[in-house]
Amino acid sequence: MAGEERIYPVVPATPGSEPYWEGANAGKLLLGYCKPCNKSYYYPRGVCPMCLSTDVEMRESKGTGTVYTYSVMRPAKPVYVIAYVTLDEGPSMMTNIVDCDPSAVKIGQKVKAVFKPREDGTKIVCFTPA
């Protein structure tokens, strides 16, 4: 998107999500992975949300997915796009679609992860058209 860049606020990490934020700051999208049920999940936490196992770990995502749904925040300055992206690994995450014309975003569009700075210089995961 041309013009003014959006400023992303810093949100405190929840207990157990610190590795996710460390990964984002290093340019990696990390997902929770449950060993017993063999499924990835988002938002990372210490317990699998599907089977409640604590035998979980963090794994790097390919960082690619598809726009499931989105909304253009036109009253905001600058205008931005918030979306749910279904990752190729299966989970969906709420995110921002960046570096494109907001009117060009479409449901079903392929996207890839990019990392944008927050107010304190650390990074947040966003997506851009692939």
What is the pLDDT, as a whole number, of residue 116?
95
CATH number at residue 40: 2.40.50.840
Residues spanned by the domain of 49? 18-129
What is the pLDDT, as a whole number, of residue 3?
56
Task: Count how many domains the chain has.
Answer: 1
94 φ, ψ to 5°? Answer: -80, 135
Q: Considering the chain, what percentage of its residues have pLDDT values greater than 70? A: 98
22 belongs to a structural domain:
yes
23 belongs to a structural domain:
yes
86 belongs to a structural domain:
yes
Q: How far apart are CA 102 and CA 71, in angstroms?
A: 9
**Contact, 96 vs 57, CB < 8 A?**
no
**Contact, 64 vs 88, CB < 8 A?**
yes
pLDDT tens-digit series, residues 27-84: 999 999 999 999 999 988 889 999 999 999 999 999 999 999 999 999 988 999 999 9
Q: How far apart are CA 63 and CA 112, in angstroms?
A: 6
The pTM score is: 0.91
What is the pLDDT, as a whole number, of residue 11?
84
Task: Give the dihedral of Cα atoms 48, 122, 89, 64; nearest 10 deg.
Answer: 170
Helix, strand, coil percentages (3-state) for the chain, rounded to 5, are: 10, 40, 50
